[in-house]
Amino acid sequence: MSKAEPRSITRRSLLAALALPATALSVPALPLATASVAPDVADAPSGLPPSPDPIFTAIDAHARACADLEGFADELAAAEQAAWHAPRGQRRAANKRLKEAYAAQGRLCDTLGTAAERFAATVPRTLQGAAAALAYVRAHYAEGYAVCEEEETITLLGSTEIAIRRAAALPVGLITFS
């Protein structure tokens, strides 16, 4: 058996760990056949209307961030063209507008990155939410780009697994396969 690789804690892994429910952190690593978990009363009826699945909010936030960045492309292209072709006497002002446009693009990219991290770390509360999250990722991939980076994709798979385990009344936690 090989020694586990030491890994540094990244902001993404910290956010992913914070997004995990308390049961995911407290269940000992046991084979599935011997795992014993206290009953999950989180889904017990409370008399209140069910809260909406948070994954839909995360999908909407990511979609808005994508649309904002894509919508900014024409403005950025216009600023670039103006700066590149500005006549003498107008170049300084055009370059200033271009610098501001690049800064705005950077903020939009940061917003999109944050939305992608939140989307990946959000655990769906329903199977419909889990299916919607996977369909959203698949639709973006079909358009030619990924919603998540590799590390975020692993987090998304873990979030989806937790949702499926909860819906199937399977133990949620660190499970080893030996």
In this predicted model, what pLDDT tens digit does every residue of 44-76 receive, in sequence order? 566 666 668 999 999 999 999 999 999 999 999
- The pTM score is 0.64
What is the pLDDT, as a whole number, of residue 118?
93
pLDDT at 28 over 70: no
Identity of the highest mean pLDDT range in 137-146, 157-166, 168-177: 157-166
Domains of the chain, residue spans = 53-167
Q: Which two tokens stand for residue 49?
A: 């209307």
Residue 13 reports pLDDT greater than 80: no
99-114 residue pLDDT tens: 999 999 999 999 999 9
State the sign of the Cα–Cα–Cα–Cα dihedral 129, 116, 65, 145.
negative
SS3 helix, strand, coil % of the chain, rounded to 5? 65, 0, 35
Q: Are 115 and 61 in contact, with CB atoms under 8 Å apart?
A: yes
What average pLDDT does the chain have?
A: 77
Alpha-carbon span 120 to 149, nearest angstrom: 10
- Taking 60 as the threshold, does the pLDDT of residue 117 lie above it? yes
